[in-house]
Structure 1
Amino acid sequence: MIRRFGDTPEKSQSYRRRPGVYAVLPRDGKLLVTCQHDPDPDIQLPGGGIDPGESPLPALHREVMEETGWTISQPRKLGAFRRFAYMPEYDLWAEKLCHIYIARPARQICAPTEPLHNALWIRPDVATEVLGNAGDRHFAGYITRWMRLL
């Protein structure tokens, strides 16, 4: 069973399953995250939906590049969670199936190409407080505990 974070789904609402991939990106004691500024500022793990016909790892590389401008290497799956949310940019009620990877930020190639996104470096303990959803905060917490052991 995949753990659920966030709001309980409404029985009267129909949800479309939307698989996605997201990355925890530690480097030099910080995490690379993205801030999406529309409709309101929201700090997130970089990532997003897997397009039809696309495999998870190419989607992860694409989404991280679009939202941060960075390439990544050595992605490894950490786990998954689901959450039920309204996605205003798509006018869609979604059951988001979020696959979480840890990867190494390899190189910054450009600024984010996704409109209204910018990349931020924050301490992992701060990430566990400011990331916009409980699932992202949960997986950032793994990294916070791991970094304390180093």
Structure 2
Amino acid sequence: MIRRVDRPPRRDRSYRLRRGAYAILHREGDVLLTQQSAPQPEFQLPGGGIDPGESPLQALHREVFEETGWRIGRVRRLGAFRRFTYMPEYDLWAEKLCLVYAARPILCLDQPTEQDHSAVWMAAREAAGALGNPGDRMFLRRHLL
């Protein structure tokens, strides 16, 4: 059973399953986050949706690069959580199945290519309080604090 975090699903909504892969990127006491400025400002673990035909690891590498400009290595799976939420950028009520990994940031090659995203280094303790969703916060605290 995969743990649900945040609010239970609403009975008056239909949800579409959206799988995603996300990374805790830790180096020397700091964590690399992505700050999404739209549709609302929020700090997030880098990562995102798994495209059709893509493995979770392929999606993780692609999404981390798009959102931070960094290449990653030494990836290991930590676990998963699910949450029910509205995704305004897609006008979609989603059951998000979030696969969470730990990885090492290896090399910054570029600025983020994903619109409205910027890469932010933050102290791990500060990051645990800044993350926008409870699943991200739960995994960061379990892994680093």
Compute the TM-score of the two structures, normalised by the length of structure 2: 0.98
Query: 1:127 corresponds to which residue?
Result: 127
RMSD across aligned C-alpha pairs, in angstroms? 0.7
Query: 1:148 corresponds to which residue?
Result: none
Residue 94 of structure 1 and its aligned partner are, at CA, apart by 0.2
Q: Secondary structure at the match of 2:137?
A: helix
Query: 2:24 corresponds to which residue?
Result: 24
Query: Where does structure 1 differ by over 4 angstroms across 4 or more consecutive aligned residues?
Result: none
Question: How far apart are the structure 2 equivalents of 1:45 and 1:6?
Answer: 16
Question: How far apart are the structure 2 equivalents of 1:94 and 1:16?
Answer: 5
Which residues of structure 1 form unaligned runs of 5+? 146-150
Query: 1:98 corresponds to which residue?
Result: 98
Is 1:61 aligned to 2:69, yes or no?
A: no
Q: What is the percent sequence identity of the aligned residues?
A: 59
Question: How far apart are the structure 1 equivalents of 2:115 and 2:133?
Answer: 21
Q: Which amino acid aligns with 1:107?
A: L
Query: 1:34 corresponds to which residue?
Result: 34
Q: Secondary structure at the match of 1:137?
A: helix
Query: 1:116 corresponds to which residue?
Result: 116
Query: 2:139 corresponds to which residue?
Result: 139
Question: How far apart are the structure 1 equivalents of 2:77 and 2:8?
Answer: 26
Which residues of structure 2 form unaligned runs of 5+? none
Query: 1:46 corresponds to which residue?
Result: 46
Residue 125 of structure 1 and its aligned partner are, at CA, apart by 0.7
Contact 1:124 1:143 in 2 (8 A): no
Question: How far apart are the structure 1 equivalents of 2:103 and 2:132?
Answer: 20
Query: 1:4 corresponds to which residue?
Result: 4
Compute the TM-score of the two structures, normalised by the length of structure 1: 0.95
Question: How many corresponding residue pairs?
Answer: 145
Deviations 1:54-84 (A, max 9, x none): 1010100000000000000011000000000
Query: 2:80 corresponds to which residue?
Result: 80
